[in-house]
Structure formats: C-alpha cells, structure tokens
Amino acid sequence: MISTPHVDWLALSPPLALLGAAGLLLMVAVFVPRRMRMPVAAFVGFAGFVAAFVFAVVVAARSPHAQTLIHDSMFRDRWSALAQVLLAGSGAVAVLLSVGERWGDEHVAEYYALLTAAGAGMTFFVEAANLMTLFLGLEWFSIGLYVLTAIDIVLIGSLEAGLKYLVVGAVGSATLLFGSALVYGRSGQLAFDRIGASGHGHDAMFVVGLAMIIAGLAFKSSAAPFHMWTPDAYQGAPTPVTAFMASATKIAALVVSYRVLSSAFPQDAWLWRWTIAGIACASLAWGNIGALVQRNVKRILAYSSISHAGFMLIAVAAANQLGARALQYYLIPYAAMSLGAFAVVAARERELGVPVTLQNLAGFGWERPFLGVAMWTFMLGFLGFPLTGGFIGKFYVFAAAYDHGFWWLIVVGVVATMVSAYYYLGIVRAMYFRESADLTLAPSGGSPPREVLLSAGVTVCLVVTVGSFFAVQPLIDVARAAAHALPL
C-alpha cells in the first residue's frame, strides 16, 4: 500500500481559496447571464481574496513555530503567512479598482479568474520550500500575469506589453530553472534547508546556480539590471493589472528571495550579500534616473517601483533579523501606496480616456479633492516623508543596513531619495500648481460617475499608508514574528 503524505489543509487554504474562486469564476463565465456577469464575477473574485486573507490570518495566528509540509515541499510559518495576508489584501483592492474598468462584459469573468489564479500562484509561491515548488509557483502566477497584461486587446500597447513581458519573463523563469538545476545537480537536494546543510558553499557550479537563481528572482522583483520589461509592461497593461503587479509581484518575489537566500545559501552569505547590495544600488540609480525624464505617470511609477525594489533589497542585503523585519514592514505601506497611486491614475484615465501624463494631470487636485490628497499622500509616502509608513520603512531599511555595517548603502539610499524628490513632487506640482485651464484636451463630455468602489479602495490604501506611520509597534511586532521564521 502506498503511504500518502499527511496534508495540512489549513496551511494550503489561502491558495486553495483563490483557486476555488478561479474555478468558480470560469463557471460564472459560462452559466451566468451576460448582464449579471460583471457584478457576480467581481463579487466572487473579491470574496476569494477576502477568504484567502482570512485564512492567511488564521494560519499566521496558529503557526508560532515554523514547520514544513508534504515532504518538505512547503513551509507553514509566519513569514509566508504574513506575505499571504499582504498578497490577498492587494488582490482584494485590485478587484475594487477593476470594477470600473471600461471593458464590457466580454471577458470579464475570465479576467477575474486570471486575477485570482495569479493570486493563488503567488500565495503558493511564498510558501515554497524546495526548488520544485519554487519554480511551479513562479510559473503559475507569471502565466496568469502575462495574459492579464495583454487582456485588453483594444488598448493600444497592451498586446505589445504582454508579449514583451512574456518574452523577458520567460527568460527570467528559464534562468531560475537552469540555476535550480545546477544547484540540485551539485548538492543533490531540493529542499532549501537541506541545500544549505549540504556544504557545497564555494563550489563553482553551485555558485553559478546561486547567481542564476538571484537573477531569476530579480526579474520578478524588477530590480536593475533585470528591470527592462517593467516600464513597458506597466504602461501597456490595464491600470488595475498594473496596480496588482506593482504591489503583489514585488511582495512575492522579495519575500521569497529573502527566504531562499537565507535558508539555502547561508554559506555563501558574503557573496550574495554583496551581489544583492550591488543590485540594490543599480536599481536605486537606474530607477530614479529613469523616472526623472518620464512624462507618462504610469512609467514614472514603474521606474519608482524599480527604485523601491532597490530600497527593499537593501534590507535583503543586510541579511539580519532587523532586515527581515524591515522588509516585511516596508511591504505594508509600499503595497498600499502602489495600489493607491495606480488607482488614482486609473480614475484619471477613465475620466479623460487617454493615457495620463504629467501634462494632463493639471488641475486634478482641485477637481477631485479626495483623490488629489490621496495621490499627494502616496507620493510623499514613496518619497519617505513623515506621516506615512514610507518614512518608517526607509528608516528601518537604513537601520538594517547600518546594523550590518553597510553604512555606504545608507548614503546611496539617501542620495537616491534626494533625486526622487524631483519626480514625486513633480506629480504633486502637476496636480495642484496648474489650473485645469492649462489642460490641452478636448473635453470628453461631462465628468464620469463617481466610482464608489475605487474610492473605497483608495481609502483603504490611504488608511494603511498613514496608519502604518502611527501604528508602528503592532506592525513591527507582527513583522518580527514573521522574521523569526527565517534562519538568520
């Protein structure tokens, strides 16, 4: 008789909930009448993410000690559970933003099915404990995102963006797979902790494998020099998809990077610390300099996300408990700010019917006071100003770097922040310091109806962005509990 492994269903519940929602949505696409399809699909998608959120919270509460499941292929610990909470939260907000998107009822259920499936892939990915589940999770959510990027075939550039993302993303996945093969070939182990214990630290083949795994993950976190798909994909994708990619993909990729590097490659720590520090510097430099010359707001935010990958990689490079805490904390306001900023862009886009540039943001802050103030807050948060969690996040990242002795990374981060002030405040300037009369656009005929759901999404993001500044202690306690799951 074949012995079946014990399956811890609770630990798998967040991905399973989303997967269930995705399956249900495919049914909705077929069975629900056309005119009901949109609200039903959006509701099911939202419910799926909320269920995943609740399950992830339960898992986090009930997993004080890290354990592995199903022949060491998955982790059940607070590190992954907290990331799942953030992923599910981001997904739920992304659903709120998607409802008002102008596509008809043509493929609307399929859209939400893909969104929840990608979310399921990410929640699976962050639990990965060996190289197989790692690659499986990566491909799972990536394929969902490739299609989502290209889903709006009417949108100019959407298909192109999807193709670019697919090609570059495939290179990234292949690199990761190749690297995994090399590591497995040398160590003979798949599970991260056993690779770490196998003692092949300074072997050339092993190190090449490590480098390729870092590169593969850096493609997903859009860190320079593996970022080249980011501006095009962010610009071309429908804005709610961009919002989801910017927050959720970054969460998943960075959280997993921290785990893989610290548990599978502790012997090469000196090597990957310096590599990650180098990648962080490259991302900070490239992201900020690239953003300076952009006029399209989505592209600015894309470059800004590259630079933030740099900030968060500083925490990874520090490779200490403080750094792990810093990363988990940083992701909370970062996810909220990204989603919120893209939500505001989406609102403006729907209003004007053209891509949002700095030029046609003129007067937006006065016309839509709430969205204006929200966007302002998100920009200040990205910049790391007080009254937003971005400030505390940067402070923690710098503290982690200082703790490890990487003081020069603080200098790089500070210089990068100085540069970024130009374009973040440039967006504020575009919204407030110019009148709508400066807008050189034909009026598109009346203002669109107020979007309650989008405003609700922005409100949530605003509350998280500002709230994380005041409620640092509870959030840090959660992040500290998560960080204890890592062997640092």
Partner 1 sequence: MAHWLTTILLLVPLGGALLVSIAPLPAYWLGSLAALVSLVEVGFWIDAAGRFHFGDPSLQLDQRASWFSDLHVSWHVGQYAFSLWLVGMTVVVMAACTIYGWWVGRTRARLYFALMLLLTGAIVGVFTAQDLLLFYAFFEAMLIPLYVLIGVWGGPARMRATLTFVVYTVVGSLLMLAAIVAYGLHEHTFDLTQLPQRSSTWLFLGFVIAFAIKAPLFPFHGWLPDAYRESPPEVAAILSGVVSKAGLYGLLRIAIPKFPTVAHDWRVVLLVLASISLVYGSLLAFRAPDFRGVVMYSSLAQSGLIVLGLFAFDDLGFDGAVLQMVNHALISAALFLLAGMIERRTSTGELRLLGGMARGRPMLATVVMTTGIISLAVPLSTSFAGEFLILAGVFQQHWAWAVVGATGIVLAAMYMLRAISAVLHQDVGSAVPDAALDLRAGELAVVVPLVLCLVGLSAWPNLVSGHAFGAGHATQQVETGLSFPVGWTGYVPEAK
Instruction: By CB under 8 A, tell whether 407 contacts partner 1.
Output: yes
Name which of 109 and 458 has its Cβ closer to partner 1: 458
Q: What size, in residues, is the chain?
A: 488
Q: Which stretch binds partner 1 (CB under 8 A): 9-17, 174-182, 192-200, 378-386?
A: 378-386
Instruction: By CB under 8 A, tell whether 403 contacts partner 1.
Output: yes
Asked, as a colleague might, if the bond just before 474 is cis with ω within 30 of 0, I would say no
Which amino acid, 332?
Answer: I
Name which of 243 and 383 has its Cβ closer to partner 1: 383
Nearest residue to 87 via CA among 40, 123, 54: 123
Nearest residue to 355 via CA among 286, 295, 313, 396: 295
Instruction: By CB under 8 A, tell whether 167 contacts partner 1.
Output: no
Structure tokens of 102? 């102008």
Instruction: By CB under 8 A, tell whether 31 contacts partner 1.
Output: no
From 40, 276, 282, 428, residue interacting with partner 1 (rule: CB under 8 A): 428
From 79, 398, 406, 423, residue interacting with partner 1 (rule: CB under 8 A): 398
Rounded to a whole number of angstroms, the minimum distance from the CB of residue 281 to partner 1 is 16
Strands 67-69 and 74-76 come out as: antiparallel
Asked whether the CA dihedral 63, 69, 73, 74 is positive or negative, the reply is negative
Rounded distance between C-alpha atoms, residue 79 and residue 87, angstroms: 13
Instruction: By CB under 8 A, tell whether 392 contacts partner 1.
Output: yes
How are the residues of the chain apportioned to helix, strand and coil, as percentages rounded to the nearest 5? 75, 0, 20
Rounded distance between C-alpha atoms, residue 192 and residue 38, angstroms: 43
Rounded to a whole number of angstroms, the minimum distance from the CB of residue 303 to partner 1 is 19
Rounded distance between C-alpha atoms, residue 49 and residue 135, angstroms: 23
Instruction: By CB under 8 A, tell whether 306 contacts partner 1.
Output: no
| Per-residue contact string for residues 340-369; x = within reach of partner 1 by CB under 8 A | --------------------------x--x
Rounded distance between C-alpha atoms, residue 150 and residue 162, angstroms: 4
Instruction: By CB under 8 A, tell whether 289 contacts partner 1.
Output: no
Q: Which stretch binds partner 1 (CB under 8 A): 79-87, 296-304, 412-420, 459-467?
A: 412-420
Rounded to a whole number of angstroms, the minimum distance from the CB of residue 383 to partner 1 is 9
Secondary structure E strands in 66-122: 67-69, 74-76
Q: Name the site residues for partner 1 (rule: CB under 8 A).
A: 322, 325, 366, 369, 380, 385-387, 391-392, 395-396, 398-399, 402-403, 407, 410-411, 414, 417-418, 421-422, 425, 428-429, 432-433, 472-473, 476, 480
